[in-house]
Amino acid sequence: MLFRLIKISAFLIISSFVLSCVTHIQVHVQPSDFYFGLANDSTAEKIKLFERSLASPNEYIRRAAAEKLAVLMSQGADIHRKTMENVRSELRGFWAEAFYVVSEPDKEKALSFFFRHEHNSASYSEAMQFILRECAKKEIIFSDQEFAAIHGHYSVSCLRYNEALDYFRIFQSENNWPEQLPDIFITYPILVNDLGKTFQYTKSTAEGLTLFLQWLTNKELSSDLQYKLNFYSGRIARRIGGKNAQGISLFEQALSLSPNADQSDACIWYILDLTITGPTKTFIERLAKYIPAWHKGSDYNDLLERFLHKLVAERDWNKVIRTYDLIKNTGADVSKISYAWVIARSIESKYLTAADMRLAAQVIGVKSANAPAFYRIAYDVGVVNSLPTLLYRSQCADILKEPFLELTEEVTESDDKEYSQALQFILGFFDYGVADFSHPYIKELEKELTDEELRIAAQALNKEGMCWQSIHLVSLYFYRNGYSKDRRDWELMYPRPYLELVEKYSQEYGISPSLLYGLIRTESAFREAVVSRAGAVGLMQLMPKTAKDMAERLKREGGPDYFGENGIVDSTNPSLNVHIGTYYFKYLQDYFKDTILALLAYNGGQNRVRRLRSASKLPIDLFVETITNLENRDYGKRVPAAARVYQELYYKDNR
């Protein structure tokens, strides 16, 4: 009896001790642990903080901490077995799959994992290497071709196409590709996509087209593989150039095999794209043929805009009207606005013949065609996901005396509203001073967040000065059908960072702050250190030579000396960049005596704009439509459109 009492007492003491330990652990789990772990440089401290985060009541914190510990483990960190058991229970996505693969590894499970995912994150790379190492430990050996396919696939997901081609060349024998599609490509058809993209985006296009056409001679391939080979053969032919007829034929064959609506639209898009460079009559005929097969009209806006440019450049107003007639009942809202606007302007400018006027009237069902009717059509389409069309809307609003933007005031929200765990997790990055780490986590959760949660996250980014990320989040819900925008949505979409700088130099050089904000937003989305592929730097995207030339002018005129060591002008400095950029734009404005031409020159160069303008007698807005370079043409509409939004939001009394 005494022995039994001693056992019970010992059990109670041990239980009490364990309970106190658990309670102690729970007490010391802080919401900040995960976030501080991200910023900590010590691996040991990271592990400690992430381990504690596994006990967080927030499932997204637990999941993120588990992934971080999995990465550390894969890098060789010594993590307790019990911790790794907790990690496995919390992991989701590709890391959970990776642990499933290595739990009882076999080659087929591993290959299925590698070819099912198309990630290019550092975390995925670690998961991939983790599986390869674990397979090697279990003496699971991949053949040279399997190993090359794995790494070729990953290289394509990272857009490293030359590297991918080097891997895929393992399938050659004495520099010759196999006459039949390799078995691994048949088992994992994603590899056809990978090799197709690789040929398309390297200098081996002709080689790729010859190979894919050879593989297409095997009529016993599945319809899915035949679709992929035809589709990517068409893309490669398009890339080569001069093979439009062959490309169209390949896409038509792919269209007959397309597995779903998205792929069907992709084939039609490429058919029309390859047609657009030929006779305008042929394009309209094909457009009429394929419009009934469209699934998503908005996918074709870019093609229709290019065709409009071609028609305006040729002054073929009749075909502008006929094309509008074809698209007016589709989902190509952006193009409907553009075409209606151009028709209205051509009527106003008296460019239409009597027959064109009758056609225009017939298309919209009125007795007599008139510009206001087409302005009304363009305006009534509403606000769509295209900044250039906002310019048309603003001009239509002025002509029709309608509001440009309908700015309802924000609704007051309850202070005690409880946020979802996903949003709480995101806001933690800002609450604990590690906002710079937030981007991949927000990206991963974008589709889980409601419109309101996206806006709250965007507000947090905006407050931190991370405007381009904030603008991206707003864009995810801003244009959704049925979403009612209020003023705070517009202000998040068109923020005003660097307010003191912008207003200072806009006043100094007599340029409206709304125009300057429109220019900066279009150029850099407020990223002060961004560098373009062409080498333009900073907020106003100054080319180094331009920055140096303008800095010298400013210095000669008694302005500040912006030259640093070795005569370098640091265009990543916001104050310097905005000063020189505004000074340069003012110089162009004085030279051209026209704001639109100055903007076009800022983007595309003075000589080009001067040459193009001297060859055209069209009004300035229609002249912009004729500019061949898409970026320059778009720029001439995007900046004024953004400027008009800034005017409406912040400077309406200054108009």
Alpha helices in 615-654, H assignment, sequence order: 620-625, 630-650
Residue identified by tokens 């340069």 is 584
Indicate the burial class of 183 (C-beta count within 10 angstroms; 0-12, 13-18, 19 or more): exposed
Q: What are phi and psi of 115, to 5 degrees?
A: -95, -5
Taking the C-alpha atoms of residue 8 and residue 14, their distance in angstroms, rounded to an integer, is: 10
Q: What is the DSSP letter of 652?
A: G
Instruction: For Cα atoms 318, 404, 501, give the angle at the middle one, nearest 5 degrees.
Output: 115
Q: Is 523 a catalytic residue?
A: yes
Taking the C-alpha atoms of residue 371 and residue 377, their distance in angstroms, rounded to an integer, is: 10
What the block records as the tokens of 126 is 């670690």
Q: Which member of 51, 453, 523, 528 is catalytic?
A: 523
Low-confidence ranges of the chain (pLDDT < 50): 1-27
The reported pTM is 0.90
pLDDT digits (tens, 9 = 90+) for 321-350: 999 999 999 999 999 999 999 999 999 999
User: How many residues in the chain?
Assistant: 655
Taking the C-alpha atoms of residue 321 and residue 317, their distance in angstroms, rounded to an integer, is: 6
Q: What is the DSSP letter of 420?
A: P
- Where does residue 451 fall: left (phi above 0), alpha (psi -120 to 50 degrees), or beta otherwise? alpha
Taking the C-alpha atoms of residue 517 and residue 565, their distance in angstroms, rounded to an integer, is: 30
Give residue 20's pLDDT. 42
Contact assessment for residue 425 and residue 34, using Cβ atoms and an 8 Å cutoff = no
Residue 103 parent element (H or E): helix 93-103
Residue type, 446: E
Give residue 525's pLDDT. 96
- Strand, helix or coil for residue 315: coil
Mean pLDDT of the chain: 92
What the block records as the tokens of 1 is 């009896």
Taking the C-alpha atoms of residue 154 and residue 171, their distance in angstroms, rounded to an integer, is: 17
Dihedral (CA of 128, 133, 135, 136) sign? positive
- Strand, helix or coil for residue 352: coil
- Strand, helix or coil for residue 176: strand
Give residue 28's pLDDT. 66
- Residue 244 makes CB contacts below 8 A (sequence gap 6+) with 238, 274, 275, 277, 278
Give residue 406's pLDDT. 84
Taking the C-alpha atoms of residue 326 and residue 287, their distance in angstroms, rounded to an integer, is: 8
